[in-house]
Structure 1
Amino acid sequence: MAFDWKGLVKSIAPTIGTALGGPLGGIAGLALTKALGVSDDAAKDESTMAAAIQGASPDQLLALKKADQDFAVQMQKLGFENIEALEAIAAGDRANARDREVKVKDWVPKALAVAITLGFFTLIFFLLRHEPPERSRDILNIMLGSLGSAWVGVVTYYFGSSAGSDRKTELMARKTQGQPS
Structure 2
Amino acid sequence: MKNKDKIIRFLGTVAPTVAAALGGPMAGVAVDALATQFMGRQGASADEVEQAILGASAADLTKLKQVDAEFAAQLQAAGIELERIAADDRDSARARQVETKDRTPGILAAVVIVGFFGVLAYVTLNGLPADSGPVLALLIGSLATGLSQVLNFYFGSSVGSKDKDAVIAGMKGGAA
Structure 1 gap segments, 5+ residues each = none
Q: Indicate if the aligned counterparts of 2:21 and 2:27 stay in contact, CA closer than 8 A.
A: yes
CA distance in 2 between counterparts of 1:36 and 1:27 reads: 13
Aligned partner of 2:108 among 106, 109, 112: 112
Relative contact order (alpha carbons < 8 A, sep ≥ 6): 1 or 2 greater? 1
Structure 1 segments (4+ residues) deviating >6 Å: 42-45, 172-175
Partner amino acid for 1:81?
G
Aligned mates of 2:128, 2:148 — CA distance in 1 = 24
Separation in 2, partners of 1:81, 1:155: 28
Stretches of structure 2 that go unaligned for 5 or more consecutive residues are: 1-8, 40-44
Whether contact under 8 Å (2:116, 2:144) holds in the other structure is yes
Partner of 2:66: 65
Q: Secondary structure at the match of 2:90?
A: helix
Number of the residue aligned with 1:40: 46
1:152 corresponds to which residue? 148
CA distance in 1: counterparts of 2:143 and 2:31, whole angstroms? 24
- Secondary structure at the aligned position of 2:127 is classed as coil
TM-score norm. by structure 2 comes to 0.67
Q: How far off its partner does 1:88 sit?
A: 1.9
User: How large is the Cα RMSD of the aligned pairs?
Assistant: 3.9
**Count of equivalent residues:** 160
Residues in 2 aligned to 1:98 and 1:157: alpha-carbon distance in whole angstroms? 8
Q: TM-score, normalised by structure 1?
A: 0.65
- 1:1-181 aligned at under 5 Å gives the runs 5-6=11-12, 8-10=14-16, 14=17, 16-32=18-34, 35=37, 37=39, 40-41=46-47, 56-57=58-59, 60-66=61-67, 68-69=69-70, 72-73=73-74, 76=77, 80-82=78-80, 85-162=81-158, 164-168=159-163, 171=166
- Relative distance call for 1:133 and 1:155 in structure 2 (3 A) is same
